[in-house]
């Protein structure tokens, strides 16, 4: 989320987050990450506020 004009800064942060997650091998308390796939992104302006928001959705497969 950002309160800066336009979506450019929010898009840059979303891209950086996506890049980090796509190449990540996180340590889990149980099991291991088998795959992580980007599904979608949704950019929107939060109502009644001058805030932009980008929601990223990933699908993860974990093996125990």
| Confidence band, pLDDT 50/70/90 cuts, at residue 3 | low
Could you report the per-residue pLDDT of 7-17, keeping only the tens digit for each?
Answer: 788 888 888 99
- pLDDT > 80? residue 19: yes
Could you report the per-residue pLDDT of 32-56, keeping only the tens digit for each?
Answer: 999 999 999 998 887 776 778 889 9
d(CA 38, CA 58): 4
In contact, 17 and 53? CB cutoff 8 Å = no
- pLDDT > 70? residue 57: yes
Does the predicted model carry a pTM greater than 0.85?
no
């Amino acid at each position: 989320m950002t309160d800066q004009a336009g979506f450019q800064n929010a898009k840059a942060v979303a891209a950086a987050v996506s890049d980090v997650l796509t190449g990540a091998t996180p340590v889990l308390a149980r099991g291991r990450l088998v795959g992580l796939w980007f599904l979608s992104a949704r950019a929107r302006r939060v109502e009644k506020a001058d805030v932009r928001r980008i929601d990223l959705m990933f699908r993860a497969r974990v093996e125990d």
